[in-house]
Amino acid sequence: MKLVGILLAVFGWLLPVVGLGMTSSTGARLVLCIVGIAITLTAILKLLISSHEKEAVWKQ
Amino acid sequence: MTRCTWLRPCLWAAIVALLVCGIPAWAQGQTAAPSAPAAAATPPPLAVDAPLPVSGPSADDQAAGDPSGTKTGTANDVVHADPTKPLTLVDLVNQAGQNRIAVNFVWTLVAGFLVMFMQAGFAIVETGLCRAKNANHTMMMNFMVYGFGLFAYWVCGFALQMGGAAGVSILGGAAPLSHEFTIHLLGHDWGLWGTKGFFLSGATYDVGVMVLFLFQMVFMDTALTIVTGAAAERWKYAAFAVSSLLLGAFTYPIYANWAWGGGWLSKLGANYGLGAGYADFAGSGVVHAVGGLTALALSIIIGPRIGKYNRDGSSNAMPGHDIVIVLTGCFILAFGWFGFNPGSTLGASGALRISTIAVDTMLAGCTGSFGALLYMWIKYGKPDASMSGNGLLAGLVAITAPSGYVNTMGAVIIGFVAGLLVCVSVEFVDRVLRVDDPVGAISVHGTNGLWGVISVGLFADGTNGVKGLFYGDPTQLVAQLIGVGTLLGFVFTTSYVANLAIHAIVGQRVAAADELEGLDIPEMGALCYPEFVLKPDTTHSGAAASVKAGLQVARETA
């Protein structure tokens, strides 16, 4: 789960960066940025946090 | 009637005479003006090393004293290339250049000293928001993070960040920082890190480079000290030392290079037509979001304090022990921010916008505390002190990136939004994410650091070369969002992986028994307040069960 979270977070970052070379449309770049940030945030706030929550002190 | 017959010809004669005499005189006056530059265009040749016919007060005059200040700071004080010869034009020009750079050196160094003093502010804010039993440990993390960070930055951090940043003309050029490692990808060069300035050796033993090093170093250290707050009360001191070294040596410098050292983010404008490229004037992203996101990564790995969450997932408040030092620390930080933001011009001569930046800074801090105070007052019925302090800091964090590009109205809005945002974010992190952050560092620096970066893309008014969406340029917002994505995808991930590795090797968290006792004795060997009577933290009814569970774990571990 942690590895998936890390890979997804990196993917969300690279998506708009690579997209710079694929389109020159400002609107398309803006959409790619927002989608990329959403993917990264989901990876961090959902996948990574929930993978650690299983080991949390208060759950034991 | 008789009088009129002779008066009228006389008047006409006078008018004609005036016209005849006046027009040529007026015309001569008109042509005389252009003739002046013509005369000036051919001055006698001036030898730059010829003696100038100026002199200061005599030695006898000066020996008599100068109570009015009119005999001090004269031609006598201009440095002569050859003291045995009279003053020349070369001497004057050199003195003018020297003065400009000297003013900028002094400005940047003093601003750096102010930022360095912010370490004291961070130290007491964080310590005040922690419990008394961990005060020594929290203070010592804030104290030594300065040393760990400085050392790592001197070894390699500065070189990676600024090693290719030559061309800082406002500080004399910093020419020895002359090489950036780049790769060619997607049709453009992507600067990744600098390669000059390791150990500040070789040609980087240079006065301009030293100024740049000092100023950039205290910024880096601010990012490092943010992390100690979020991981306070449970972070193993040895792990803290290693983690801080890694952040100061690699993670922070790499992102700072991309934004400030000539790296790829700063070139998004030139390479892809995205406004002026990623713009982060004083570091909402580079400093605060890097610190805040690293704090998030570490808090996720290290887990919450014992007693923070109940078995059903609800959270317990664990108030700090000294609100006096918390708010005093906030004032110290607000004072230091006048070095942080206006100092980021790296000079005063040729950068008079320092006044606007300073006013933007104070306004955003003000409205940030307003926003937080109003939120807490309306929602909970009381104007909460620690959240008002966090609101002030949130406003200051948010205005850090846009302070060089926005007007006062923009600063007021950015600060107010930050004040609201920090309250919402603290609740979200605490209750929804269940990530324990004793001082609110993730929200103050992480959330509002990202907000500051985005706000450049919205509110920049174009006065200083950066224009945001509200002033007609949506491409700048794209550049800023790519910066946000990089902070989340690169900085957070790198910090997370690095700290996960430390956790696997040496362990990030102290033993449960030590945590319950307080970290002052187990980790530092001395209590911060030896004359205080410290009691177990079972005062909050909801926390009692969790603390008992923690005690059980501690007994089993022992």
pLDDT tens figures, A16-52: 999 999 999 999 999 999 999 999 999 999 999 999 9
Average pLDDT over every residue of B432-451: 97
DSSP state, residue B265: G
DSSP state, residue B183: E
What confidence score (pLDDT) does residue B13 get? 59
Given a cut of 80, whether residue B515 has pLDDT beyond it is: yes
Higher pLDDT, B129 or A54: B129
| Chain A residues in contact with B434 (beta carbon < 8 A) | 49, 53, 56
CA dihedral B438, B442, B444, B448 (to 10 degrees): -170
Tokens (6 digits) for B55: 């002199």
Contact between residue B415 and residue B334 where contact means Cβ atoms under 8 Å apart: no
Query: How far apart, in whole angstroms, are the C-alpha atoms of residue B219 and residue B346?
Result: 13
Q: What share of chain B is helix, strand, coil (3-state, %, to 5)?
A: 70, 5, 30
Query: How far apart, in whole angstroms, are the C-alpha atoms of residue A29 and residue A17?
Result: 9
Query: How far apart, in whole angstroms, are the C-alpha atoms of residue B407 and residue B418?
Result: 17
Find, among B543, B527, B519, B141, the residue nearest to B306 by Cα.
B543
Helix, strand or coil, per DSSP, at residue B189? strand
The C-alpha of A15 sits at a distance from chain B's nearest C-alpha, in angstroms, of 9
Chains A & B: contacts with CB separation below 8 Å? 104
Amino acid code (one letter) for A8? L
B24-68 tens-digit pLDDT: 444 444 444 444 444 456 766 667 778 888 888 998 999 999 999
Q: ∠ CA A15-B295-A3 to the nearest 5 degrees?
A: 45
Q: Which residues of B touch A (CB under 8 A)?
A: 186-187, 268, 272-274, 296, 300-301, 303-304, 306, 308-311, 313, 433-435, 474-475, 477-478, 481-482, 484-486, 488-490, 492-493, 496-497, 500, 512, 546, 549-550, 553
Query: How far apart, in whole angstroms, are the C-alpha atoms of residue B397 and residue B61?
Result: 54
| Average confidence score pLDDT of chain B | 90
Q: How many residues does chain B have?
A: 558
Could you tell me which chain B residue has the CA closest to the CA of A20? B272
Q: How far lies B85's CA from each of B52, B95, B403, in Å?
A: 10, 16, 48
What confidence score (pLDDT) does residue B15 get? 58
B311-340 tens-digit pLDDT: 888 999 999 999 999 999 999 999 999 999
Judging by beta carbons within 10 Å of its beta carbon (0-12, 13-18, 19+), is residue B273 exposed, middle or buried?
middle
B136-185 tens-digit pLDDT: 999 999 999 999 999 999 999 999 999 999 889 999 989 999 999 999 99
DSSP state, residue B307: T
Query: How far apart, in whole angstroms, are the C-alpha atoms of residue B181 and residue B161?
Result: 11
Given a cut of 90, whether residue B206 has pLDDT beyond it is: yes
Tokens (6 digits) for B434: 């269940």
Q: Which residues of A touch B (CB under 8 A)?
A: 2, 6, 9-18, 20-21, 24, 26, 29-30, 33-34, 36-37, 40-41, 44-45, 48-49, 52-53, 55-60
Helix, strand or coil, per DSSP, at residue B195? coil
| Chain B residues in contact with A57 (beta carbon < 8 A) | 303-304, 306, 309, 512, 546, 549-550, 553
